[in-house]
Amino acid sequence: MMISYVQLESHMEVEISIKPFVIPDDIRYIRQWTGVDEAGLMPFYESIAASSFIHAVMVWDKDQPLFEAAICEAVFDDLGLGHAVQPGDYTLRLQIAPNAGHDAILQGLNNCIDYLFSNKAASRILVPVHTTNKIFMEWGREDKYTKKMDKKVIYIQKRASLQFG
C-alpha cells in the first residue's frame, strides 16, 4: 500500500506518501521522537504487525518521515470505551516527528483520513487530541470533513459541512 499526493504549498512541492510501518527500520524514528529505547518499542510494533484489527503506517514527505499513524478498528481501541462506538468506526493515533513541517503534517493527516474512508470504508474516525495541540485544533476547523470535537476526541465523518460539539 502506498498513497501519494503532490501539492504546491507556499511555492514548495510537498509529496506525501503513506507506507506500511517497517520493522526494524522505522523503529529508529519512533525511538528518536519519543526517547523510548528499541527494546521497549519492538514488542509493541511486532504485536501490531501480527494483529488483524490494527496496523501502523509511516507518513512521509519525500524522504523525510512526518509521523507514524496507528489505525485501529475502534471496538478494539481503549479510546472507544468511553465513546459510543459504531460499526465502521476507526481510531487514528499519531506519533509526530518534532521537526516535521506544519503544512506537510496537515496534508499527511488528510491523506490518512482519505485512506480510511476509501480503502477501509470507515464510517467515522476518532482522533484523540489534546486541546493544546495547535496543529490538530487548526485542522479541526478545516471544511474537508464533518468534524465534531469534544475535549479529547475529534470525530470525523465524510461530508462537506463542519460541526463542532
Task: Give pLDDT tens digits along the chain (165 positions).
Answer: 444 444 434 445 668 999 999 999 999 999 999 999 999 999 999 999 999 999 999 999 999 999 999 999 999 988 756 667 888 999 999 999 999 998 899 899 989 999 999 999 899 998 887 777 777 767 766 666 667 766 677 778 875 433 333
CATH hierarchy code of domain 3-157: 3.40.630.30
**pLDDT score recorded for residue 143:** 60
* Cα–Cα distance, 10 to 30 (Å, whole number): 28
Residue 140 gets which letter from DSSP?
Answer: T
Residue for cell digits 470533513? 145
Partnered with residue 146 across adjacent β-strands are 157
Give the cell for residue 102: 506544519
Say if CB 67 and CB 94 are below 8 A apart: yes
* Domain regions of the chain by residue span: 3-157
Give the cell for residue 86: 459504531
Name the residue among 85, 88, 26 with its Cα closest to residue 57: 26
**pLDDT score recorded for residue 146:** 66
* Cα–Cα distance, 2 to 137 (Å, whole number): 27
- 24-70 pLDDT, tens digit per residue, is 999 999 999 999 999 999 999 999 999 999 999 999 999 999 999 99
pTM of the model: 0.81
Residue 76 gets which letter from DSSP?
Answer: G
Specify the 3-state DSSP secondary structure of 82. helix
How many H-runs (helices) and E-runs (strands) does the chain carry? 4, 8
Residue 119 gets which letter from DSSP?
Answer: H
**pLDDT score recorded for residue 32:** 96
